[in-house]
Structures are given as C-alpha cells and as structure tokens.
A and B are shown apart, each in its own frame.
Chain A
Amino acid sequence: DIQMTQSPSSLSASVGDRVTITCRASQTISTYLDWYRQRPGKAPELLIYGASSLQSGVPSRFSGSGSGTEFTLTISGLQPEDFATYYCHHNSNYRLTFGGGTKVDIK
C-alpha cells in the first residue's frame, strides 16, 4: 500500500504569512493527490485536487504543486480561518490514503 508522509507535523505562523506544507508518497502517484483543510470541530474541506487544480469556491491564496512522489501546498497570505489541520490524500482505485496531517496554529 502507498504511504503518504507530511511535513512538518505542525507549524506556527502569523496572519499574512506564506506557509508551505510538503507531502511525500512512498511510490510514484503521478498527480493523483488532493489537499484538505480541517478546521477545529468541522469536517474536512477539499482545497486542491489533481495536485494543482483549485476546487471551485476555494480562495486563490491556496495553491498546489508537484508530481510523482513530492507535493506541496502553499498558502499565500494566511487568514484567520486557515489556522487548521491540513491533510494530503491519495485515491488509488477508490482506496483512500491520508497523510498524517499538518497543524497550523497561531504564532
């Protein structure tokens, strides 16, 4: 089974900061990689699919890049609602694998 590893597991940042989160797959997955944001007490929300495509309605401060085994989520200009946990995710024939999560909290 493919394993997804996120780094860092947590980080502290301020409103307006640029934040980068990395996800690494244990084997190549082309661009079949999604990113979710989960605010405290809420369900996950889809941000990015296909490694770099912005989901409808998601602010443009979110961007994704990468292919193969290395992927990045960038938040350009952190907003108060972005203090949350972020998960990368791979779907292989409808079997879902999530990264361990990256918690972004207020510095």
Chain B
Amino acid sequence: QVQLVESGGGVVQPGRSLRLSCAASGFTFKNYAVHWVRQAPGKGLEWVAVIRYDGSNIDYGDSVKGRFTISRDNTRNTLYLQMNSLRPEDTALYYCARVSGRDGYTFVDYWGQGTLVTVSS
C-alpha cells in the first residue's frame, strides 16, 4: 500500500536550518510529482512546494520562496525539504503528499502523517 513517512522535524531557533525527509513506499516514486503542504497549529492547509517526477520542474509558495528548497532522490525513494532562515511563522506540521491523476484531472491522493516543526527561541 502507498506510504509516505515524514521525518526530521523538531524544535529549532529562529534563523536556523532544518531538513525534512519523506520516505515513499508502495508505489513507483519516480513516476509521481510530490508536494510539501503545511498546517500551523489549529489553522488551515498551506501549500509549500512541489517537485515534478524527475525533478525538472519546481515551484514554491510565496511565503517560503528563497528560503526553502525542495529536492528528491528517486534512487532512494525520498523527498526532501531544506528549510533555511526559519521564522516562528514556519511553525507547523509538514506533510508530504503525492500527486495523481484521472480523467484529465490532477489531485493529491495520498498524504503522510506529517512531521512537526517548531521554531522558537
């Protein structure tokens, strides 16, 4: 079955860096685009970044552009998010999520359980 398992979260001081990972299994990872989506405590969902199946096309949400870097290693079936210059407002549960498609539509069909990032001094 499809599984996405995030790791790497923790407590970090403002201005510091953190790298998240998402290990994929149960499907052919190299064939799928993948997103990072975050959710601040008690708040809604916010898109962070996306990377296409082969890493050729990458995009970021405005609030993280220039500070975060998404990447993937298709040989290790793993997605990454390098987060630099962290701010308190980056505190959130970070999900990785797989893109799928049907009938001409693309949508996110599987999500991990998330890894919590807390930015605090």
1/0 contact string of B24-62 vs chain A (CB within 8 Å): 000000000101010000001111001010000101010
> Which chain B residues lie closer than 8 Å to A100 at the CB level?
44
Q: How many residues of A contact B (CB 8 A)?
A: 26
Taking the complex as formed, is B76 at the interface, i.e. its CB lies under 8 A from any CB of chain A?
A: no
What number of residue pairs across chains A and B have CB atoms under 8 A from each other? 66
Within 8 A of A (CB), among B64-110: 95, 99, 102-109
Distance in Å from the Cβ of B46 to the closest Cβ of chain A?
A: 7
Query: Are B37 and A96 neighbours in the complex by a CB distance under 8 Å?
Result: yes
Q: How many residues of B contact A (CB 8 A)?
A: 26
1/0 contact string of A70-107 vs chain B (CB within 8 Å): 00000000000000000101010111111111000000
Query: Are A50 and B105 neighbours in the complex by a CB distance under 8 Å?
Result: yes
Taking the complex as formed, is B113 at the interface, i.e. its CB lies under 8 A from any CB of chain A?
A: yes
Chain A residues packing against B (C-beta within 8 Å): 31-32, 34, 36, 38, 42-46, 49-50, 53, 55, 87, 89, 91, 93-101
Chain B residues packing against A (C-beta within 8 Å): 33, 35, 37, 44-47, 50, 52, 57, 59, 61, 95, 99, 102-109, 111-114
